[in-house]
Homo-oligomer: A and B are copies of this chain.
């Protein structure tokens, strides 16, 4: 048992070191970066598409898409206008800092204003692996149910912003928003939250405004 713990600790300490290096590179390049996490099918790629459509076209955007298989997401990000890089994790359930480093090597970073890293669809493992991005953003999805903050607390605790997607489905689903918000507030008080629908476009303007401010703050600092 103690052997297992020490191996896991070593993996995390190496990852943290590589994440710090990634952070330094992104900072030096003046690029604002987001680690986008969610369950499978919560809408990570749809959000990237809508973000590219809504952002000032003067911003140059890179997307790094992590998946256990296929390049479906990177293809969609590329079609939406991003410079897209696919990471196939070979079955691994999260992106780690070393994978992100290899993907960053393929990009001319100072050319970009925004980097969107789409993590593997998973509410557990990605929370344990820092990547070195400026912000961690979680997408919750209405059909997942209102108990998810309670059941996946580590993910909700560690993020800097929360998007609640698929609010267009609220009329058809038993989802108690007060119960959901109470769980979020308990784990991450005052968390910046954006209820949106990638399908109807509702709420996307607030997200785009926040993101634009973050990008501009990064450039001026």
Contacts and interface: CB of A to CB of B under 8 A. Distances in A.
Interface in A1-30: 7
Nearest to A120: B124
A141 B125 CA distance: 21
Interface string A64-91: 0001111011000000000000000001
Contact of A151 (B39, B121, B128, B173): B121
**Which secondary structure dominates where chain A touches chain B?**
loop
Interface stretch (A106-114, A142-150, A203-211): A142-150
A123 interface: yes
Interface string A133-162: 000000001011101101111100000000
A220 B103 CA distance: 56
A141 B145 CA distance: 12
Given A39-B40, A120-B124, A144-B40, A152 B93 contact: no
A193 interface: no
This protein's copies in its complex: 2
A168 B141 CA distance: 17
Nearest to A144: B41
Given A39-B41, A68-B154, A120-B124, A93 B93 contact: yes
A147 to B, nearest CB: 6
Nearest to A147: B72
Contacts of A125: 93, 122, 124-125
A91 B72 CA distance: 29
A120 to B, nearest CB: 7
A152 B69 contact: yes
Contacts of A53: none
A169 interface: yes
A58 to B, nearest CB: 31
A158 to B, nearest CB: 12
Given A93-B93, A121-B123, A168-B172, A40 B143 contact: no
Given A40-B151, A72-B151, A168-B172, 7 more contacts: A40-B123, A40-B145, A41-B145, A68-B153, A72-B147, A93-B122, A169-B169
